[in-house]
Amino acid sequence: MKQLKEDLSTCHNPVSNLFPHLSWEEAWNEYHLTDEQVAFFHEFGYLHNVKLLEENQVDQLLRELDEIKEPSHPMHHLFYEFHSNESKDLNAVLFHSLGHWRISSGFHDVLWNPAFIVAACQLLGNKPVRFWHDQLFCKPAHHGGVVAWHQDYSYWTRTLPMQHLTCWTGLDDATRDNGCLCYIPKSHTWGLLDKPELAGDMNGLEKYLTDDQKKQFENKVFIEIRKGYGAFHHPLLVHGSYENKSSRSRRAFVLNVFADGTMSDSDSELLHGVPVIPKGKKMEGQFFPLLSL
């Protein structure tokens, strides 16, 4: 595939034909969540097994992933973060990056995937959806590392109000054996907790929990889903994933969004290389596009 040599954050529309170009009415008729699904999300803090990608779309994203994960890629400098292994343990590898939407046409265009936009809008209370940032998480076979128990918003308190949403999409079948996502149902009602080291001790969050909260981990749910399917979760839902000791890789990408109208709560850089949005100013512009069809 020909490598692009432009910063795709300047493009706030799809740049390929990877996803269908639909009107809102067409997308709603095809992809909208049921009332029962939306109610489940609000009660338990998550919704999983939502089909977001076709087989050919997964294949295209995997090809692009192989290219952009190489530090020699000509647009490597556009990543906000790039960790070939965020873990300090060489035997527990966790590839983690942010910013690949700027580099790869497929990972750029997943932001405008109609199936994603319609569901995200519904789960944000039917408010317009604005992009926050993306992530890649890759756990190689046999020695893939953990993602410690955490709440996403504990890393995002530089934005207000809390009206955020996370969507995790598998590029491999995700199972208990290869380190699938794991949720603590209803933990989004616990309030904001301190944040642990993301690729450190799986149970680093424990020191911030009450005895009753610790007991709720007995009810954890393993989100085993096929590639191309996604899971949405609330910004305060406690979640993580265990190591991959299987013979299969576990690759996934994450889209983090918030409702339009979210403000910066910091006078510092929000993402590496992104111009400062002063505290109290609306999150918008080149790096935080409105996602509409």
- The 3-state secondary structure of 16-81 reads CCCCCCCCHHHHHHHHCCCHHHHHHHHHHCEEEEEECCCHHHHHHHHHHHHHHCCCCCCCHHHCCE
Structural domains of the chain, count: 1
Print the domain residue range for 198: 18-68+79-291
Tell whether 194 is covered by a domain: yes
Q: What percent of the chain has pLDDT over 70?
A: 98
pLDDT computed for residue 3 by the predictor: 55
CATH of the domain at 29: 2.60.120.620
pLDDT computed for residue 4 by the predictor: 61
- 208: which strand partners? none
pLDDT computed for residue 90 by the predictor: 81
- Among 88-92, 223-227, 266-270, the minimum mean pLDDT is found in 88-92
Enter the tokens of residue 110: 């997943």
> Mean of the pLDDT values across residues 63-68?
96
CA dihedral 68, 235, 110, 140 (to 10 degrees): 40
Tell whether 11 is covered by a domain: no
pLDDT computed for residue 200 by the predictor: 83
251: pLDDT strictly greater than 60: yes
Q: Phi and psi (nearest 5°) for 272?
A: -60, 125
Tell whether 1 is covered by a domain: no
1: pLDDT strictly greater than 50: no
Tell whether 13 is covered by a domain: no
Tell whether 41 is covered by a domain: yes
Tell whether 5 is covered by a domain: no
CA–CA gap between residue 10 and residue 171 (Å, rounded)? 26
> Mean of the pLDDT values across residues 187-212?
95
Mean pLDDT over the full length of the chain: 96
At residue 88 the predicted structure's pLDDT band, cuts being 50, 70 and 90, is confident
